Amino acid sequence: MVLTPGLIAIVAEEVGKKLGEKLEADSEPLCAAMRLLSLLEVQATIDLRDYLEVSVSVPCPLSFTDDCEDYCILPRLLSSYLEGSTGQRWIPLRMNTGFIRRTNGKCILRLVRGRTSLRREEK
């Protein structure tokens, strides 16, 4: 089996959904994101503007390669977890060609709020 960015995205989304089901829901995206990253022992700062920006200190405990931007699980993991926790859809925002931008010893990712989650409406 070859590890590809697409396969990593699928796995990360499924793990995020499962974590969202297991952990207590939080309608505040900033608090929910901080709780998940703390649970995963990822040192990060989070800012909520028109988008949610996460700045992760390098090296990240979830990284398994030096060139991890293409293989990072955080954008999809965080988006699927936040959808389950907040009831809002959160979509990873592309920066240049990928979802991660590495700068000044940090990895930056952004999520934008989408429409209301259908799963939350059905409950």
- Hey, what domains does the chain have and what are their CATH numbers? 5-122 (3.30.1380.20)
Mean of the pLDDT values across residues 18-43? Answer: 89
Quote the Cα angle for 87-62-19, to 5°: 30
Contact by Cβ (8 Å): 13, 76: yes
pTM: 0.84
Mean of the pLDDT values across residues 40-55? Answer: 93
Going by DSSP bridges, is the β-strand pair 44-48/88-92 parallel, antiparallel, or unpaired?
Answer: unpaired
**pLDDT band of 121, cuts 50, 70, 90:** very low
**pLDDT band of 85, cuts 50, 70, 90:** confident
Mean of the pLDDT values across residues 20-24? Answer: 83
**pLDDT band of 120, cuts 50, 70, 90:** very low
Phi, psi of 72 (to 5 degrees): -75, 135
**pLDDT band of 109, cuts 50, 70, 90:** very high
For residue 117, the model assigns a pLDDT of 54
Reply yes or no on whether the pLDDT at 77 is more than 80.
yes
